[in-house]
Amino acid sequence: MCHPFREGTQDGITLRIRDNGITCKLSRDLPDYIEAGVGPVIQQFLNKQQKTTADIDLWAVHPGGTRIIQKAQSALGLSDEQVADSWAILKAYGNMLSVSILFVIARMMNRLQDAETKAVTAPITGLGFSFSLGVGIEGVLFEKH
């Protein structure tokens, strides 16, 4: 999944290439853009997959900052437990831009592997997403069998 939010959010995340490297600037409005835009985009994506939010067992939310997680959690109606892995990665590493989501998914998979002693008979479905330039959303629907 790769989907832009609505018009007028282009200032949400901007990158610049400078002589000393890449800089990333986040708009102070970014959390509000996420709160308004993430729910409809995720719902549209799940509809295309013939799934609902109830079908998602694991939520890998972009750990781009405190307000980013909070706004995504609120907009999607997720519990504290559902975003715990995102909080743990934010605390351990800070915001590493879009790649942060891979750390969240890896943490989830490691946690599930550690719990393999419990008989898991059904596949586990997860949805991971992060936010990209201008504000867009990029993500993946995944299953663990």
Please tell me the distance from the alpha carbon of residue 48 to that of residue 67, in angstroms, as a whole number. 28
Q: Is residue 37 within a helix (H) or strand (E), and if so which, with residue range?
A: helix 30-48
Question: What average pLDDT score do residues 107-117 get?
Answer: 80
Residue ranges of domains in the chain: 2-144
pLDDT for 64 equals: 92
My answer on whether omega of the bond before 135 falls inside 30° of 0, hence cis, is: yes
Which two three-digit tokens encode residue 1?
Answer: 């999944």
* 117-127 confidence digits (pLDDT tens): 555 567 899 99
The closest alpha carbon to 107, from 123, 80, 126, 122, belongs to 126
Domain 2-144: CATH class, spelled out: alpha beta
